[in-house]
A and B are shown apart, each in its own frame.
Chain A
Amino acid sequence: MKYQIAIIFLFVGLIFSCSEEETEPESGIELGATLTAEMGSDLSSQVYVDLSEGEMTTVAVNTWELAFENAGDAIRINGAKKVAVSFPAETDFAAVTTDEGLVYYYDTEDGKLTTTALAGWTLNQPYIIDLGIDENGNVLGKKKFMITASSSSGISIQYAELDGSDAVSTDIDPEDGNFTYFSLINDEVVTIEPLSWDFVLTAASVRTGAPCFTMGNAAVPGINCDIYRLAASVVTNNHSGVLVAKDDPFIDLEQNDDPESEKNKQTIESSNFDNLLISDFNTIGGAEAADAIGRSWLQILQPHSNGIYKIYDFITYIVQDQDKNYYKVRFLAYRGGDNAENGFPTFEYELLTE
């Protein structure tokens, strides 16, 4: 943290020192910085970034499973630790005792509230939630739950082990911010999201291999299809209207894990970072999907066991933040921190004024 602050000051100092004759910046907002987000090599932390404040907020991943929309009915599940839900046929809470034969669903990466796993949930319908994994990959178990009441003043939830033990009924009062985060493990509301943020560096549940629906009867979820792993991703705050335009000079080149492939041999020399303007944002067009940055800035290379990632530092993301400031952002490294480990991504950004 100390280094990052020092770096911020260094950059601020640099920019001020060479921008004396330029137009006065808007009051009080960050002009640019180079920051390292400490997700950890096990991706056990999420790092929220507020570009205009130059501020990062680091929270532990394994602290919540469900997030309730404060201004609406949507429910998100924690994809940073592989939380998933399945839908039993039974409508009686006590009758649900097993998840045998059920398929688990994850929230989509684009962050659309209409396509979350629990989109279209109904009151008093039991669901089964897989609590995901901890930072060492240990499975945390499964619970059944159902929403028994929902209004603008809060939500009532009932949950228990699949065998009916440890039954809990709780009323959840909405917190400030977009969502209210709840831990079924500790039976408590937790503060996760800062009030203002533009994107979050987080692990995402990513499917590897075939989706189960393509395999018919041969499908064994989690074994030969729908195998999910965690990968570092950047999720934008689409809920607050953050938009991203991506400038990739090599957009036509295929992205793969071969270290010798054309795209993986490109360097920061080809970056348009220095030349991009606000007008380029408009030309490219801002995307509102939460995965507009997503995992497009890094690629693991073969052999995967070496843990070497190619960072596409030639890609520049122009981010229109929630206050309609334009920042250009590029990722420089995935390895960093005191021990130069993976899971410590470094990115730099600058305010665009024209």
Chain B
Amino acid sequence: MAQDNTIVTILSARDKMPLIGAAIQPVENSGITGWISDVNGKVILTITEPTNIRLSYIGYISKETIVAPGQSISIELEEDVLGLEEVVVTGAFVPTTSSQSLYKVRKLDASFIEARGSVNLGDVLQTQLNLKTIQDDVLGTRVVMQGISGSNVKMLMDGVPMINGAGGEFDISQINMNNVERVEIVEGPLSVQYGTNALAGTINVITKTYGVDETFASINAYYESVGQYNADLVLAKGWKNLSVNAGITRNRFNGYSSTDERSENWVPRTQYIADAKIKTSLKSINITGAYNQMWQSSTNRGNASSAFNSQTGKLSEIAKDDYNNTIRLNGSLIADGKISGNQYINLVNGVSIFEQSSRGYLQDVIDDVKWLSTDPEEHDTTRYTSWTFRGTYVNGNANKKVGVYFTAGYEASINYASGGRISEDADGSVNEYGLFTALEIPFGIKVKVQPALRYIYSNSYDARDINFLNAGLPILPSLNFMYTNGTKFDFRISYGKGYRTPSVRELYYEFIDANHYIVGNTDLLPEVGNNLNASASWRTNYGEVSTAITPSVFFSKIDNKIDLIQIIDRETLPDEVPKNVPVARAYENIPNFKSYGLNLTAEFAWQNGVRLSPGFGMLARSGSEADDKFYYSYEANLNAGYFLKKIDTRINLFYKYNGQITEFAREEDGSIGVLTLDDYHTLDISLSKSFLNGGLFTSIGAKNIFDVTDISLVGEGGKGLVLQTGREDFYPISWGRTFFIKINYTIQ
């Protein structure tokens, strides 16, 4: 049958230029997969009846329209300057877009990572609202989210949990950014999705995946004036149904001390990282195997003091130095995709290993003689291992924006540890098994509701302490509500019951030497939290400016929060422990911890490439350790960028004000001791430009322009975020003003 051509021309709304390679798909499943626009932005459709089509192009907001056979139309797509169409995966059972996700997902993408001149995850998170990074000379960089410290932040790599490190905290400076596609952050618990730990929030590091038929080699070199020298190499090759990439990285940091002491707040270290990924597909199922391993050697130098050197027989200055070797390994095998039109599965199998070994040496700093300590307590190797097996089945038509989605899944988490700093009583492992289900129900096209549940069984404690519905049920609920009015307005509210099981470390840690008595506690109860998050977004276009205003608020209460508590009555220590040991602590449950906060962020994007994102945050924290008195802290930030398209240059500015923050804890005499960290401002700027048709990419910039180093601490409190540093009157925030340059050379 003769037929007039149906022609659709796809143009950019801004400059009316054709969009080459834009996709057109029928909205209803009609057996036709779709079409791609040609160099003129044109597509000839082979349709026989009026068809509802969706037009999409990367970086532009998708549009749906009905075309009739024989029609010839032009359709303009708006640039997605606010990132509404970008895919997010954290908290969603099926990958979805930012605008459709039930959770407010904060996304820090590759260009943001690049613009920050970020080496590791700590650099990326530094200027974010409601997040704080804290430096410790022994434990590295820790993250504090919603006022809750690191052990309550779930760390994922491609959705696979990563195990915490030394001190029960995650050292985010051990996560390298050179092969990261984006970082997704969800505040509040995602315990139905990810089980234990996700009380304060989840940080999901998504690594890069390379396309099919792509051959690619890339070299990065980074220098920062504080003494950082990093280089990496990435190779990727894609075939029709297989892509492989591998990378190797070396990072060297020379260490930094603001005090001129031999003992440094920022210890020198060398990291080697190897990573590899292989991706293939079996029909419509993607199968991805990923491996990432870091080796780090670092040296914690001590201060030297006068001593008689038994090796040389001379009076000298001797220091105690710890040489640490750390291994962090993450491996995963993931299968995901559609098993039929309406059915989606996601199978995640992962392992995460953290091993730290330390060797104590004595160093004569005058005669440069070094020898191994004969004290066995000065040497240790401890290894933590965590296995995760998670499977998710979703039934619902993903092509439809609106529809019922049913989700069911399982998760098993196997955790064990061994080594000198783990009690001999730690037999076997701390395992947790979960079954979860969720049902996303639409009410009209504007409202979605998702109740979800996770049933938990653990081999090491009674999950019935979660006490769902006051009926002693070991079940965690969550409830999400979302209202959306196209791209103009949306509103989300989510309630989640979070919980965190005592970790292997919290149960069985045993660090006993001349200066320390830090032990786990097998009587710990799991932490149980309740968290309510609400956020709204208004988006409007004022002529050349696209704006989004996003206020959000959260309330959180955690019962039985696990904390390292000072042992006050030293006479209760076991006989073999010196009663005058300087540090004596044990893990205990504290009755409750409360926090609430509000954030207001805005985004202004001009068509000419200027972008401004100011934000303001307030955080209030209280609880049984504060006699329910609230302590407030404030922060504000501004990210600004200007993309000069003509010369392909990007200018970025990152500013953050960190208001005073107070830590509180009950003292020996029952009073509340407080320690307040003073406020400070940070400002970074950078400039990125590409040369050789994108083959060479350079970023230069200045970090910490206000030259912040140590921030003073005032008060009488004996613990807090700062407790583990052992410093008395200041806290090392940064290593001062630096300049960096990063060069990337890519061969396609």
* A34, A338, A339, A344 — most chain B CB neighbours (10 Å): A339
> In whole angstroms, how far apart are the Cα atoms of A193 and B570 in the complex?
33
A311 proximity list for chain B (CB < 8 A): 306
Q: A136-B576, A305-B582, A340-B320 are in contact. Are A332 and B373 (CB under 8 A)?
A: no
Q: Of A3, A133, A137, which contacts B310 at CB under 8 A?
A: A3
- Min CB distance A219 to B, Å, is 21
A38 to chain B: closest residue by CB: B310
Which residues of chain A from 122 to 141 have a CB within 8 Å of any chain B CB? Answer: 133-139
> In whole angstroms, how far apart are the Cα atoms of A36 and B312 in the complex?
13
Q: Of A7, A42, A308, which contacts B578 at CB under 8 A?
A: A42
Answer yes or no: B579 CB below 8 A from chain A CBs.
yes
| Residue contact A138 to B310, C-beta cutoff 8 Å | no
Interface string of A302-346 (1 = CB under 8 A from B): 010100100100000000000000000000110111111100101
- Min CB distance A342 to B, Å, is 9
Q: A34-B313, A303-B728, A305-B582 are in contact. Are A138 and B308 (CB under 8 A)?
A: no
Q: Of A135, A138, A335, which contacts B307 at CB under 8 A?
A: A335
> In whole angstroms, how far apart are the Cα atoms of A308 and B306 in the complex?
9
A57 proximity list for chain B (CB < 8 A): none
B570 proximity list for chain A (CB < 8 A): 137
| Residue contact B313 to A332, C-beta cutoff 8 Å | no
Answer yes or no: A6 CB below 8 A from chain B CBs.
yes
> In whole angstroms, how far apart are the Cα atoms of A139 and B573 in the complex?
12
Answer yes or no: A41 CB below 8 A from chain B CBs.
yes
Answer yes or no: A190 CB below 8 A from chain B CBs.
no
Which residues of chain B from 293 to 352 have a CB within 8 Å of any chain A CB? Answer: 305-311, 313, 315, 318, 320
A135 proximity list for chain B (CB < 8 A): 578
- Min CB distance A54 to B, Å, is 15
Answer yes or no: A10 CB below 8 A from chain B CBs.
yes
| Residue contact A336 to B313, C-beta cutoff 8 Å | no
| Residue contact B310 to A36, C-beta cutoff 8 Å | yes
A308 proximity list for chain B (CB < 8 A): 305
> In whole angstroms, how far apart are the Cα atoms of A303 and B580 in the complex?
15
| Residue contact B305 to A346, C-beta cutoff 8 Å | no
> In whole angstroms, how far apart are the Cα atoms of A336 and B371 in the complex?
13
Answer yes or no: B33 CB below 8 A from chain A CBs.
no
A7 proximity list for chain B (CB < 8 A): 313
> In whole angstroms, how far apart are the Cα atoms of A318 and B284 in the complex?
92
> In whole angstroms, how far apart are the Cα atoms of A7 and B375 in the complex?
23
| Residue contact A338 to B305, C-beta cutoff 8 Å | no
B582 proximity list for chain A (CB < 8 A): 305
Q: How large is the interface on B (under 10, 10 to 19, 20 to 34, 35 or more residues)?
A: 20 to 34
A338 to chain B: closest residue by CB: B374
| Residue contact B374 to A136, C-beta cutoff 8 Å | no
| Residue contact B374 to A340, C-beta cutoff 8 Å | no
- Min CB distance A131 to B, Å, is 14
* B310, B374, B375, B577 — most chain A CB neighbours (10 Å): B310
A339 proximity list for chain B (CB < 8 A): 362, 373-375, 378
Q: A136-B579, A339-B373 are in contact. Are A332 and B308 (CB under 8 A)?
A: yes
- Min CB distance B747 to A, Å, is 54
B571 to chain A: closest residue by CB: A139
| Residue contact A335 to B373, C-beta cutoff 8 Å | no
B728 to chain A: closest residue by CB: A303
| Residue contact A41 to B514, C-beta cutoff 8 Å | yes
Q: A42-B578, A136-B579 are in contact. Are A6 and B306 (CB under 8 A)?
A: no
> In whole angstroms, how far apart are the Cα atoms of A139 and B371 in the complex?
36
> In whole angstroms, how far apart are the Cα atoms of A167 and B307 in the complex?
48
Answer yes or no: B575 CB below 8 A from chain A CBs.
yes
Which residues of chain B from 570 to 601 have a CB within 8 Å of any chain A CB? Answer: 570-571, 575-580, 582
- Min CB distance B513 to A, Å, is 11
- Min CB distance A299 to B, Å, is 13
A137 to chain B: closest residue by CB: B579
> In whole angstroms, how far apart are the Cα atoms of A219 and B308 in the complex?
43
> In whole angstroms, how far apart are the Cα atoms of A10 and B312 in the complex?
12
B514 to chain A: closest residue by CB: A41
| Residue contact A333 to B313, C-beta cutoff 8 Å | no
> In whole angstroms, how far apart are the Cα atoms of A184 and B308 in the complex?
37
A308 to chain B: closest residue by CB: B305
A332 proximity list for chain B (CB < 8 A): 308, 315
Which residues of chain B from 364 to 395 have a CB within 8 Å of any chain A CB? Answer: 371, 373-375, 378
A36 proximity list for chain B (CB < 8 A): 308, 310
> In whole angstroms, how far apart are the Cα atoms of A273 and B362 in the complex?
30
> In whole angstroms, how far apart are the Cα atoms of A282 and B136 in the complex?
58
| Residue contact B320 to A10, C-beta cutoff 8 Å | no
| Residue contact B362 to A333, C-beta cutoff 8 Å | no
Q: A138-B575, A305-B582, A332-B308 are in contact. Are A3 and B313 (CB under 8 A)?
A: yes
B373 proximity list for chain A (CB < 8 A): 338-339
| Residue contact A335 to B308, C-beta cutoff 8 Å | yes
- Min CB distance A137 to B, Å, is 3
> In whole angstroms, how far apart are the Cα atoms of A134 and B575 in the complex?
9
| Residue contact B578 to A333, C-beta cutoff 8 Å | no
B307 to chain A: closest residue by CB: A335
- Min CB distance B313 to A, Å, is 5
| Residue contact A344 to B308, C-beta cutoff 8 Å | yes
> In whole angstroms, how far apart are the Cα atoms of A336 and B307 in the complex?
5
- Min CB distance A175 to B, Å, is 31
Q: A136-B575, A136-B577, A138-B575 are in contact. Are A333 and B514 (CB under 8 A)?
A: no
B371 proximity list for chain A (CB < 8 A): 338
- Min CB distance B562 to A, Å, is 26
- Min CB distance A129 to B, Å, is 20
Interface string of A135-173 (1 = CB under 8 A from B): 111110000000000000000000000000000000000
> In whole angstroms, how far apart are the Cα atoms of A207 and B578 in the complex?
20
> In whole angstroms, how far apart are the Cα atoms of A7 and B313 in the complex?
7
B319 to chain A: closest residue by CB: A340
B307 proximity list for chain A (CB < 8 A): 333, 335-336, 340
| Residue contact B308 to A333, C-beta cutoff 8 Å | yes
| Residue contact A346 to B575, C-beta cutoff 8 Å | no
Interface string of A1-15 (1 = CB under 8 A from B): 001001100100000
B375 proximity list for chain A (CB < 8 A): 339
* A6, A303, A339, A340 — most chain B CB neighbours (10 Å): A340
| Residue contact A138 to B579, C-beta cutoff 8 Å | yes
| Residue contact B580 to A335, C-beta cutoff 8 Å | no
- Min CB distance B690 to A, Å, is 52
B318 proximity list for chain A (CB < 8 A): 335, 340
B579 to chain A: closest residue by CB: A137
- Min CB distance A139 to B, Å, is 8
A344 proximity list for chain B (CB < 8 A): 308
Q: Of A6, A139, A340, which contacts B362 at CB under 8 A?
A: A340
A305 proximity list for chain B (CB < 8 A): 582
A301 to chain B: closest residue by CB: B305
* A3, A7, A34, A335 — most chain B CB neighbours (10 Å): A335
| Residue contact A10 to B313, C-beta cutoff 8 Å | yes
Q: A303-B728, A308-B305, A346-B315 are in contact. Are A337 and B579 (CB under 8 A)?
A: no
> In whole angstroms, how far apart are the Cα atoms of A303 and B375 in the complex?
25
Q: Which 8 A-B pairs have the closest CB atoms?
A: A137-B579, A335-B307, A336-B308, A346-B308, A333-B308, A340-B318, A340-B307, A136-B578
12 contacts between A and B (CB under 8 A): A36-B310, A137-B578, A305-B582, A333-B307, A335-B307, A335-B318, A336-B309, A336-B310, A337-B310, A338-B373, A340-B309, A346-B315
Besides A333-B307, A335-B305, 8 other CB < 8 A contacts?
A3-B310, A41-B514, A332-B308, A333-B306, A338-B310, A338-B371, A339-B375, A340-B318
Interface of B toward A, CB cutoff 8 Å: 305-311, 313, 315, 318, 320, 362, 371, 373-375, 378, 514, 570-571, 575-580, 582, 728
